[in-house]
Amino acid sequence: MWTIAKIAWRNIWRNKLRSFAVFASVALGLWAGIFATSLANGLNEQRISNVIDNQLSHFQIHAPGFRDNFEINKVITNTESIQQKLDSNPKVKAYTTRTMVSGMVSSASSSKGVQIKGIIPENENAVVNLEKFMVEGEYFGKAGRTPSIILGKTLADKLNVKVRKKLILKFQDGNNEVIAAAFKVKGLYKTVDTRNDEMTVFIEQPKLNELLGFSDEVHEVAILLNDINNIETISPDLKAAFPNLLVESWKEVFPGLDTADQLQEQTSMLLLYIIMLALCFGILNTMLMVVLERVREFGMLMAVGMNKLKVFFMVMFETIFLMLTATPVGLAMAWLTVWYFSKFGLDFSGQSEGFESMGIDPIVYPVLTYDYYPKVIMLVVAAAILSAIYPAIRAVRLNPAESIRKL
């Protein structure tokens, strides 16, 4: 077998151009597959962490049933005791409370349906860092006689309002009374999630509570942990601490995000499978050519007494060697590109419209875990075997007398 392998190895170098073509296609295919996968992974992780950082936080607390249809009366009442418990928990980095109601926002020219969130500006900042996203005007601060409102840049454009202009908010309170109040645009924000920007406006919580007739009731507590990896361990404690409330981690609040994550992993593997399958056909074709070209040689070998098993393995080895020599190159190229761009990011700002509407930052940092590489190598060997079987069978089936006749 050793000699068979040696012959197979030397055979690779007989037709350098052809071997190089196979070599290049395997290396490039691997590189493209792996890099695309890492980009997709990176995009996905960014999308998830964006949603977590900017919207979901790590945990959310609501009154049971509130999230079903955001009924204004399903409130969290004992806010102060919640705050005490959270303040004393060392794993909690920050938290914020929100009151929310859906309503209409109207400018002189048009109106839009929105979700109105009453927030404590500095707490909100500590949890989702809203201030970071301000693009015009300022983030609350001292209000004049008219209370302040913060809204998305895209929404402001649609409503045709600018900073310091007035807007009317209209909504129903808990008794189905319609309430309207005027607000002055204090600032405009813009996150990567433009769809969400268009649907959410922020005002100060005391003002909203006053309009709704609440005292210290809120609808939502959003909690940020020191370490996202503590979610699973802290979850039972939090749930036990607030038995009458619904405590949910981001995965529970938005299960789709987590499933999308798993789906993403499978899709990116699928991409690699498809690339490998395409490579298989190319290599099968090449090896078939090799076998046909060497009909006389195989005929001679079988004539002088080389058995079919050895002939089979000779073709097999040649294919595997051919692909495996290209593999380290493809992997190294992929590793380098992934490493480089995970440091410096890959800028897709040219296409940023599409990215932002998906809630993704246009600079992508590819992500690839190391356990991916051995999987790829196994895939290459499998692909080599798969594409070598048919040519090897063709070689074995040759009739020595006829092969030699083809002189």
Partner 1 sequence: MKEIISIQNLEKIYNPTKVAVHALRGVNLSVNEGEFAAIVGPSGSGKSTFLNLIGGLDNPTSGKVIIGGNDISKLSANQLIEFRLQHIGFVFQAYNLIPVLTSKENVEFIMLMQNRSIKEREERAISLLKAVGLEKEIDRRPVELSGGQQQRVAVARALASKPDFVLADEPTANLDSKSAENLLDIMERLNQEEGITFLFSTHDARVVKRARRVVTLEDGLIASDESRS
Ligand X SMILES: Nc1ncnc2c1ncn2[C@@H]1O[C@H](COP(=O)(O)OP(=O)(O)OP(=O)(O)O)[C@@H](O)[C@H]1O
Of positions 67, 91, 195, 296, contacts partner 1 by CB under 8 A: 296
Residue length of the chain: 407
Which partner in partner 1, ligand X, none is near 283 (CB below 5 to 8 A by kind)? Answer: none
Residues 208 and 247: beta-carbon distance below 8 Å: no
Which partner in partner 1, ligand X, none is near 305 (CB below 5 to 8 A by kind)? Answer: partner 1
- Footprint (CB under 6 A) of ligand X, residues 54-113: none
CB of 299 to partner 1, least distance (A): 8
Query: Which one of 8-16, 139-147, 203-211, 363-371 is the stretch in contact with partner 1 (CB under 8 A)?
Result: 8-16
Cβ-closest position to ligand X = 402
- Footprint (CB under 8 A) of partner 1, residues 310-339: 310
Q: Does position 407 bind partner 1 by CB under 8 A? A: yes
Buried-exposed string 90-104: b where 16+ CB fall within 10 A, e elsewhere: ebbebbbbbbbbebe
Of positions 94, 150, 225, 301, contacts partner 1 by CB under 8 A: 301
Q: Does position 308 bind partner 1 by CB under 8 A? A: yes
Place of tokens 């302040």: 148
CA–CA dist 355, 371 (Å, integer): 28
What single-letter DSSP state applies at residue 351?
Answer: G
The helix (run of H) or strand (run of E) holding residue 77 is none
Q: Does position 402 bind ligand X by CB under 6 A? A: yes
**What residue type is 196 in one-letter code?**
N
Residue closer to partner 1, measured from CB, 158 or 296? 296
CB of 19 to partner 1, least distance (A): 13
CA–CA dist 349, 258 (Å, integer): 26
Pairing relationship of beta strands 178-189 and 134-137 according to DSSP bridges: antiparallel
Residue 139 Rama label (left phi>0; alpha psi -120 to 50; beta): beta
Interface with partner 1 (CB under 8 A): 3, 7, 10-11, 13-14, 296-297, 300-308, 310, 399-402, 404-405, 407
Interface with ligand X (CB under 6 A): 402, 405
